[in-house]
């Protein structure tokens, strides 16, 4: 028997009940007409949460990190210049993944905790093939201005990580000029980890690598897998066995979000984050992310001087069943990450995490 946790870290979050219930439904085969309907509806709902009309919008059959890999492996031709905005761990990771795909990487480094400096990124190279940036940096709790990058990208493709933003804050891939985007299911979409919601527009697809180094993530073949309109006449072709339980679960989570209304869900995240951040500051704690760029769904807070970061997290877990995250990279011991995502973006969760943190700090 597993003791229930409050998953208030940087992800996974506690799934929406609709997502969990779908996992317990009878399993369907990946070619079952009923499953194909679920897959079609899932792709449609993903278009809504991405803010896109892209035909090629689908859940890749692996976690968000594989979404990053799919984004680069399908679009980087050997020697392509890829400008990467690095303002946290996931920007850093992009440089590694892009380099493995043969890119000439131009990394634009930022201090962690600050948003992407759009001017520096846009002027980093005169004619990059791709400009890549993270919308919501999971490592620092910072939001960057993707729309401004899209407005200034010129002929480059704009590649965006939306792992921690999708389903939690405003995201408008088409309006912002995002050409390639990937995300995860286990944050604000409120579904267990295991799939990577992905979207690519025609402009990027036409420039893709014809035969990418990855067979599993080859978007040319995956078109047939989900049978999108316009791809092989909408015919389904077998590529790999879809993870049917996880897709059904994503369907459940997305249904819940769209029933509530996407803008209402964004507002719920904003309110929870605002209240949490005000409460933490009232407790005398200092926030890590730069003011004006703080994500509501993921709050970073500095560990007070003299407090053992790991001991506090262990106490929270053992006493109260609450998981919060350590900091990332160099900030592992000096920052906590508190996520109120998906189902957890609620007033009662805010009260609980504030009270529990106060309780544990009082005992320290």
Cα–Cα distance measured from residue 85 to residue 125, given in angstroms and rounded to the nearest whole number:
12
Counting Cα atoms < 13 Å in the Cβ hemisphere of 343 gives: 21
319 binds a copy of itself (CB under 8 A): no
Smallest Cα–Cα separation from 142: which of 20, 314, 297? 297
Q: Which helix (H) or strand (E) holds 348?
A: helix 347-363
Counting Cα atoms < 13 Å in the Cβ hemisphere of 291 gives: 3
208 binds a copy of itself (CB under 8 A): no
307 binds a copy of itself (CB under 8 A): no
Selected from 36, 40, 62, 207, the binder of a copy of itself by CB under 8 A is 62
How many of the other CB atoms lie within 10 Å of CB of 41?
13
320 binds a copy of itself (CB under 8 A): no
Binding piece for a copy of itself, criterion CB under 8 A, among 30-38, 42-50, 149-157, 260-268: 30-38
- Of residues 160 through 189, those in contact with a copy of itself by CB under 8 A are 184, 186
Cα–Cα distance measured from residue 10 to residue 316, given in angstroms and rounded to the nearest whole number:
15
How many of the other CB atoms lie within 10 Å of CB of 277?
23
Selected from 147, 317, 352, 361, the binder of a copy of itself by CB under 8 A is 317
Nearer CB in complex with a copy of itself: 30/208: 30
193 binds a copy of itself (CB under 8 A): yes
25 binds a copy of itself (CB under 8 A): yes
Alpha helices in 303-342 (DSSP H): 309-320
Selected from 212, 227, 253, 327, the binder of a copy of itself by CB under 8 A is 212
Question: Is the backbone peptide bond immediately before 280 cis, with ω within 30 degrees of 0?
Answer: no
Selected from 40, 147, 148, 216, the binder of a copy of itself by CB under 8 A is 216
Q: Which residues bind a copy of itself (CB under 8 A)?
A: 2-5, 7, 9, 11-12, 14-15, 20, 23-34, 61-66, 68-69, 73, 93, 96-97, 100-101, 184, 186, 192-194, 211-216, 239-246, 248-249, 317, 323
């Amino acid at each position: 028997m597993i003791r229930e946790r409050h998953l208030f870290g940087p992800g996974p979050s506690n799934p929406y009940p609709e997502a969990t219930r779908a996992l317990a439904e009878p399993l369907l085969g990946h070619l079952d007409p009923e499953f194909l309907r679920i897959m079609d509806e899932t792709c449609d709902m993903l278009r809504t949460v991405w803010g896109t009309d892209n035909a090629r919008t689908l859940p890749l059959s692996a976690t968000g990190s594989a979404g990053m890999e799919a984004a680069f492996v399908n679009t980087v031709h050997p020697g392509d210049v890829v400008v990467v905005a690095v303002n946290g761990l996931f920007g850093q990771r992009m440089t590694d993944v892009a380099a493995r795909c043969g890119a000439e990487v131009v990394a634009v480094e930022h201090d962690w905790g600050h948003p992407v400096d759009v001017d520096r990124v846009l002027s980093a190279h005169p004619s990059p093939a791709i400009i890549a940036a993270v919308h919501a940096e999971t490592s620092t709790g910072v939001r960057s201005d993707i729309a401004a990058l899209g407005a200034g990208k010129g002929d480059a493709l704009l590649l965006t990580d939306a792992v921690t933003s999708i389903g939690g804050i405003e995201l408008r891939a088409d309006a912002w000029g995002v050409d390639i985007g990937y995300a995860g299911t286990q944050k604000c979409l409120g579904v267990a980890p295991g799939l990577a919601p992905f979207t690519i527009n025609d402009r990027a697809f036409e420039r893709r690598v014809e035969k990418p180094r990855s067979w599993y993530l080859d978007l040319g073949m995956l078109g047939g897998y989900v049978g999108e309109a316009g791809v092989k006449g909408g015919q389904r072709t077998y590529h790999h066995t879809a993870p049917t339980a996880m897709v059904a679960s994503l369907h459940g989570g997305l249904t819940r979000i769209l029933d509530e209304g996407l803008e209402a869900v964004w507002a719920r995240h904003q309110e929870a984050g605002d209240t949490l951040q005000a409460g933490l500051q009232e407790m005398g704690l200092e926030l890590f992310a730069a003011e004006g760029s703080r994500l509501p769904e993921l709050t970073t807070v500095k560990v007070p001087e003299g407090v053992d970061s790991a001991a506090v997290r262990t106490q929270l877990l053992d006493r109260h069943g609450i998981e919060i995250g350590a900091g990332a990279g160099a900030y592992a011991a000096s920052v906590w990450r508190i996520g109120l995502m998906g189902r957890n973006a609620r007033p009662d969760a805010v009260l609980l995490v504030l009270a529990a943190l106060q309780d544990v700090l009082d005992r320290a």
